[in-house]
Amino acid sequence: MNNLQQTSPNKFVGILRILLGIIFVMTGLMKLFMADYAEAWSIQLTEAEIPLYTFNYWFVPILETLLGLFLFLGYHSRISAFLVLPIMLVAIYVHLTVTDPGAFPSQPQEPYMPIVIILMALVIIIKGAGNWSMDLKSNG
Q: What is the mean pLDDT of residues 120-132?
A: 97
Please report, for the chain, the start and end positions of each structural domain, with discontinuous segments joined by +. 2-139
Estimate the crossing angle of helix 53-73 against helix 11-33, to 10 degrees.
Answer: 150
Length of the chain: 140
| pLDDT one-digit tens code per residue, 87-108 | 999 999 999 999 999 999 998 9
- Is pLDDT of 1 > 90? no
Q: Which pLDDT band holds residue 139 (cuts at 50, 70, 90)?
A: confident
Q: What pTM, to 2 d.p., does this model score?
A: 0.95
Contacts of 137 (CB under 8 A, 6+ apart): none
**pLDDT value for 140:** 62
